[in-house]
Structure 1
Amino acid sequence: MNLHGKTLFITGASRGIGLAIATRAARDGANVVIAAKTSDPNPKLPGTIHSAAEEIRAAGGQALPLQVDIREEGQVLAAVKQAVEAFGGIDILVNNASAISLTGTEQTPIKRYDLMNQINARGTFLCTQACLPELKKSAAAGRNPHVLTMSPPLSMKTRWFAPHTAYTMAKYGMSMCTLGHAGEFRQYGIAVNSLWPRTAIATAALQMIPGVDLARCRKPEILADAAYFILTSDAKDVANSGNFFIDDELLGRHGVTDLERYSVTPGTRDFIPDFFVD
């Protein structure tokens, strides 16, 4: 099974992990809807929906760049409609867009709290809701529909909440969507899973966090390759839905044990561990 001719709706796909997943799918000849906010170049965050579209096309896929703020229901619904008009439907939704602020309660303005929850938890729910009718049609046509959310396993331990309660709540909200939607959509033959990295991933967003040593990170491609195994699995198989996958564990199950090519710095053994992985 591969992704040739499949249509992926990926939020936050203008750079980083979302773009890596998109270009991996494009190598199969997939159609990718780039639903992201950045239309004009930003000196602090490289990559726009247009530059992403160029990379996807160069990799062998088709691209539809759409400027979308997933906090806005009207924009999401319009993007889904445009995706269907362009490619005939949607087979895969990747909920990748996310906001982060690693701050304590006193240091978290409510405006930032709202932003994280509107993009992370609410945005994931909204995009899933908006794409669901098309995912049902994909299932009925035997096209193996998936929802993949970039969110962590649910570990209700104080140490994952205390340093940044607001961010953890917002990120776990995405994971709760996976937990609920996997059970709710099983009747339709739609698989719903989450994927999370064991180590920090070198993205432009991570560079914005002071003190992070990118040399001790892995590249976004490790998540792209792990996502590929999920998105090409049989959506009707109960075992392939409702999972919270960790990238290196999943790759190992598929025989990929040499992860050196994913290291930002070759030979690195002391990677920065990501949050939420016990």
Structure 2
Amino acid sequence: MTDPSPSLAGKTLFISGASRGIGKAIALRAAQDGANIAIIAKTSDPNPKLPGTIHSAATEIEAAGGKALALAVDIRDEAAIADAVARTLETFGGIDIVINNASAISLSTTAETPMKRFDLMVGINTRGTFAVTQACLPALRKAANPHILTLSPPPSLDPRWFGPHVAYTISKMGMSLCVLGWAEEFREAGIAANALWPRTVIDTAALRMLGGAVKPEFCRKPEIVADAAHAILTRDARACTGHFFLDDEVLAEEGITDLTAYAVSPGHPLLPDLFLE
């Protein structure tokens, strides 16, 4: 059975990295429909370098019309993920949608990447994405229109994306290869597995952690990714799987072609995101 409604009302979303940035924007868009959001993130106490905690995100989600469950989880810890899934099921009764958004970034060369940083990126990006999805699978199999949506780029073997930052690229492409495999593995079960990536750089706190390499005026707001995600997640899971979507293409399919409102500085040139032509 599929859900023909273009709304996420009553749906339960399990979102990694939902305390800020794109993850929180997706949560807030779903909350406007009256969705339930399990906020899966590490930040439970305020961080002077990165604004937003699971608790502040929960407050915003409830104010937007949704129901929130704030869960402090390091997705490198499968026991913590299992506990978070159990608490989500206890609170909301099911999981309809998994958003693999949590990600670590370091645009460093091989010589400049400490193994601790390599392990962090692979552990959160590739392994964490796999672990979260695996833990949610039993609940997804029972859902009416189950979706897995991963924030990762179209798969590529273009050397120019690997040369400057091998470790980060491997970790992000690992996420994308998970999507490729899951779309096939779960096709008969009717569980959609798709990826979503922004056409341009998105203005988030993570961007500012890169030391000002990209200024906000060259970016779009996280809401463009959130609106694209909403469009994907309200589609029939059996008819929409195995895609590597770009945010502007999804919105164009929905009839939205004027993207001016999503720009941080309308009229300013925009920088394309990594891994795109």
- Please give the range of the TM-score, normalised by the shorter of the 2 chains: over 0.9
2:210 — aligned with what? 209
Letter in 1 for 2:157: M
Alignment partners' CA distance in 2, 1:223 and 1:111: 30
Distance between the aligned counterparts of 2:104 and 2:154, measured in 1? Answer: 18
Q: Return the offset for 1:273.
A: 1.1
| SS of structure 2 residue aligned to 1:9 | strand
In structure 1, what is the Cα distance between the partners aligned to 2:238 and 2:127?
A: 27
Q: Could you list the runs of 5+ residues in structure 2 that have no partner in the other structure?
A: none
For residue 184 of structure 2, what is the aligned residue in structure 1? Answer: 183
Which amino acid is 1:87 matched to?
F
Once the 2 structures are TM-superposed, how far is the Cα of residue 243 of structure 1 from its aligned partner?
0.3
In the superposition, the TM-score normalised over structure 1's length comes to: 0.97
- Measured in 2, the distance between the counterparts of 1:162 and 1:234 equals 38
Residue 201 of structure 1: how far off its partner (Å): 0.2
What is the CA distance between 1:253 and its match in structure 2? 1.3
Structure 2 distance, partners of 1:209, 1:72, is 26
Q: In the aligned structure 2, how far is the partner of 1:214 from the partner of 1:101?
A: 19
State the Cα distance separating 1:11 from its structure 2 match: 0.2
Q: Does 1:149 find its partner at 2:147? A: no
Measured after TM superposition, the shift of residue 267 of structure 1 is: 1.7
* Match in the other structure for 2:129: 124
CA distance in 1, matches of 2:129, 2:186: 15
Instruction: Give 1:155 deviation, angstroms.
Output: 1.4
Q: What is the count of residue pairs matched by the alignment?
A: 271
1:276 corresponds to which residue?
A: 275
Q: Where do residues 1-278 of structure 1 align in structure 2 (5 Å cutoff)?
A: 1=5, 2-138=7-143, 143-210=144-211, 211-237=213-239, 240-268=240-268, 270-278=269-277
How far, CA to CA, are the matches of 1:249 and 1:90 in structure 2?
A: 27
4+ runs deviating over 3 angstroms? none
Q: CA RMSD in A?
A: 0.6
Counterpart AA for 2:19? S
| Structure 2 counterpart SS, 1:97 | coil
CA offset digits 1:149-191 (Å, max 9, x no partner): 0000011100010000000000000000000001001111110
C-alpha distance in 2 between matches for 1:84 and 1:230: 23
Offset at 1:199? Answer: 0.5
**Offset at residue 79 of structure 1 (A):** 0.1
- Deviations 1:65-116 (Å, cap 9, x if unpaired)? 0000000010000000000000001000000000000000000001100000
Q: Give the residue type in structure 1 aligned to 2:145.
A: N
Return the alpha-carbon distance in structure 1 between the equivalents of residues 44 and 271 of structure 2: 31
Specify every segment of 5 or more residues in structure 1 that has no aligned partner in the other structure, as ranges. none
